[in-house]
Amino acid sequence: MNVQDIVNTVSQKAGLDQGTTEKVVGTIFSVLEHEAEGTSAANFFAQIPGADALAQQYDVMAPGAAGNGGGGGLLSSLQGALGGILGEKAGALVNGLAALKASGLDMSQIQKAGTTLIQQAQAAAGPDLTNQVLSQVPGLKSHLGIS
């Protein structure tokens, strides 16, 4: 199963268009790429062809990414300050969540897409490896409504 298969399934099950789904999947993968560390993350991305490229396309830490100096205002300033104080790891999660909310989806749509994405990742990379990577980003799981 490659990343396009995952995008297609998430799009269908969450009722989202392809472009929005690609952004959601890429954003979540980008958060995982920045926050999960070590060989488990590398192995996870190796199991899903194209996931790494999609994560880089929607890099939550890139200049101009949602919440990463792109817009301005209080929220952007807060995100920049939090990212600076807490380091890249917290900044990636904050920026990723801001990007998901900026995509125009409500929390139930984000949670449905996130849950479906995790199910598809477990099918592609295996439940143990997927859960090992997710355990390194506990804030993401709670925001996606995954226990």
**Predicted confidence (pLDDT) per residue in 100-126, tens digit:** 988 889 889 999 999 999 999 999 999
Q: Would you kindly state where each structural domain of the chain is located, as residue ranges?
A: 3-143
Indicate whether 142 pLDDT > 90.
no
pLDDT at 91: 82
pLDDT at 141: 82
How many of the other CB atoms lie within 10 Å of CB of 105? 19
pLDDT at 50: 97
Measured CA to CA in angstroms, residue 33 lies from 30, 43, 110, 133 at distances of 5, 11, 19, 9
Mean pLDDT of the chain: 84
